[in-house]
């Protein structure tokens, strides 16, 4: 990506200096992009807004279409679709021969050993990632292909411990994503616990609606965390995939192999078959030693340690959100127990009223019998109405108490 055609320079919208001046003034950048005619370019050619950020800290905003991105990065079209709107809710980290495709939350970028192309750099969710790049990628870095080869040859121990550019970008992306997810979980915890405590005290429609909203937020947030965690776990389970992430190492090895081929070709002299066989054997040993002089191809310890650290961090965030889910489940169980207790109390009250109605119905029956126009000798008996009515009331009360005692004996009511 070191060579850029004239078409690319024509689509240049807004160069941004590589110094750590933050790109927080997104409104100014947006207005400058609009002033340069970005909307018209996008409508006519289908280009999108990208930021080019190289390993020296220099950056510029570009309007590029798919064909230009594919030509510059060398990735297939199917990988570029990962950065499209269809896969915007997924998490993917894909390593190819010349580039790494990153799609984590709102960070969608293409990284190679020299620079990174960031999609939609003026989006508010992408600005923290760009700020972190400006802070952690030094602007005075002077690392070319030849310089990297010389540094690796002169001080291999220092080259082993220093992360290459693509790993720094991947680390910053994971750090921003984990920080964003952790912040979202912190906000969820701050909002969830008071609402759940209020629901435990007062079961109302308003509190239930607030808890339902919290559960929806929790479900979406948990799915986002799980997607990033699963992608990192998928990479950790395959050493071959992790070895493809070493773009700088592969570039240095290819350059050393090419230099060795040139030197061995020049060293061949017409001295007979024996000298040719000697030179060929020497070439095989030389290329083999060069390929393993700095790194082993299956040595993925640096990337493995990097991914494991963020995998553990995502595990902690996942455990925090699982704790909130467990607290919600416990609160719902407590509310259900309280509602079940209230329901049982209503059933007991209904049972008591049914028994009282049955006892009172006997008095109503007697009153209805004597209210009929039937001649009974009791009508002519003096001083009988009071004892008669009192006796039936007492009998009804006795029946009611008997039914209540029976219900109490069989644990049908709790008095």
CATH number at residue 32: 2.40.128.330
What SS3 state is found at 124?
coil
Residues 359-394 have pLDDT tens digits of 888 878 877 777 676 676 766 777 777 777 788 788
Min mean pLDDT across 114-123, 212-221, 239-248 is at 239-248
State which residues form the domain around 268.
247-291
Residue tagged 């079940």 (tokens): 340
Residues 201-215 have pLDDT tens digits of 998 999 999 999 999
The number of folded domains in the chain is 3
- Flag whether 129 is in a domain: yes
Domain boundary residue, one of 162, 197, 227: 162
- Flag whether 365 is in a domain: yes
CA 397 – CA 394 distance, rounded (Å) = 5
CB atoms under 10 Å from CB of 387, counted, come to 9
CA 153 – CA 288 distance, rounded (Å) = 16
- Flag whether 344 is in a domain: yes
Cα angle at 118 between 47 and 26, to 5 degrees? 85
268 and 355 co-located in one domain: no
- Flag whether 45 is in a domain: yes
Exposed, middle or buried, 61 (CB in 10 Å: 0-12/13-18/19+)?
A: buried
265 and 135 co-located in one domain: no
153 and 6 co-located in one domain: yes
9 and 93 co-located in one domain: yes
205 neighbors 341 (Cβ within 8 angstroms): no
- Token pair listed for 104: 């984590």
Question: Which residue intervals of 137-164 are DSSP H helices?
Answer: 145-154, 156-161
148 and 280 co-located in one domain: no
- Flag whether 276 is in a domain: yes
Domain boundary residue, one of 291, 324, 355: 291
Min mean pLDDT across 25-34, 137-146, 152-161, 332-341 is at 25-34
140 and 11 co-located in one domain: yes
- Flag whether 309 is in a domain: no
- Flag whether 195 is in a domain: no
Residues 263-311 have pLDDT tens digits of 666 555 444 444 444 344 443 444 444 443 344 445 788 889 999 999 9
Residues 73-104 have pLDDT tens digits of 888 888 788 887 776 678 889 888 888 999 99
Domain boundary residue, one of 162, 191, 219: 162
Question: Which residue has better confidence, 60 or 43?
Answer: 60
Q: What residues contact residue 235 under an 8 Å CB cut-off, 6+ apart? A: 93, 241, 242, 307
141 and 287 co-located in one domain: no
């Amino acid at each position: 990506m070191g060579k850029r055609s004239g078409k690319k320079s024509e689509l240049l919208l807004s160069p941004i200096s590589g110094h750590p001046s933050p790109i927080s003034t997104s409104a100014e950048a947006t207005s400058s992009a609009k002033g340069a005619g970005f909307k018209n370019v996008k409508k006519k050619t289908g280009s999108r807004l990208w930021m080019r950020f190289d390993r020296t800290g220099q950056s510029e905003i570009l309007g590029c279409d798919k064909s230009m991105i594919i030509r510059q990065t060398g990735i297939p079209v199917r990988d570029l679709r990962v950065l499209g709107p269809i896969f915007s809710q997924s998490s993917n980290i894909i390593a190819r021969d010349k580039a790494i495709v990153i799609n984590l939350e709102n960070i969608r970028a293409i990284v190679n050993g020299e620079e990174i192309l960031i999609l939609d750099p003026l989006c508010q969710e992408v600005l923290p990632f760009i700020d972190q790049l400006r802070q952690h990628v030094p602007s005075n870095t002077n690392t070319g292909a030849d310089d990297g080869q010389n540094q690796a040859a002169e001080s291999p121990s220092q080259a082993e411990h220093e992360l290459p550019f693509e790993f720094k970008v991947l680390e910053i992306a994971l750090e921003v994503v984990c920080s964003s997810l952790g912040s979202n979980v912190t906000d969820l915890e701050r909002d969830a616990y008071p609402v759940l405590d209020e629901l435990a005290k007062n079961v109302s429609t308003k509190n239930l609606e607030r808890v339902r909203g919290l559960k929806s937020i929790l479900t979406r947030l948990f799915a986002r965390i799980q997607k990033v965690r699963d992608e990192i776990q998928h990479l950790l389970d395959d050493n071959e995939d992790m070895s493809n992430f070493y773009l700088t190492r592969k570039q240095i090895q290819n350059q050393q192999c090419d230099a060795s081929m040139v030197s061995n070709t020049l060293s061949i002299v017409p001295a007979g078959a024996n000298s040719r066989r000697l030179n060929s054997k020497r070439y095989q040993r030389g290329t083999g030693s060069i390929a393993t002089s700095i790194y082993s191809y299956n040595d993925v310890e640096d990337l493995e340690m990097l991914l494991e650290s963020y995998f553990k961090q995502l595990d902690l965030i996942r455990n925090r959100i699982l704790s909130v889910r467990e607290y919600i489940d416990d609160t719902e169980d407590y509310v259900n127990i309280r509602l079940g207790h209230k329901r049982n109390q209503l059933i007991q009250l209904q049972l008591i009223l049914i028994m009282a109605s049955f006892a009172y119905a006997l008095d109503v029956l007697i009153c209805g019998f004597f209210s009929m126009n039937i001649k009974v000798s009791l009508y002519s008996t003096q001083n009988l109405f009071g004892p008669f009515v009192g006796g039936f009331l007492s009998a009804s009360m006795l029946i009611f108490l008997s039914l209540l005692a029976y219900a109490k004996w069989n644990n049908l009511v709790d008095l």
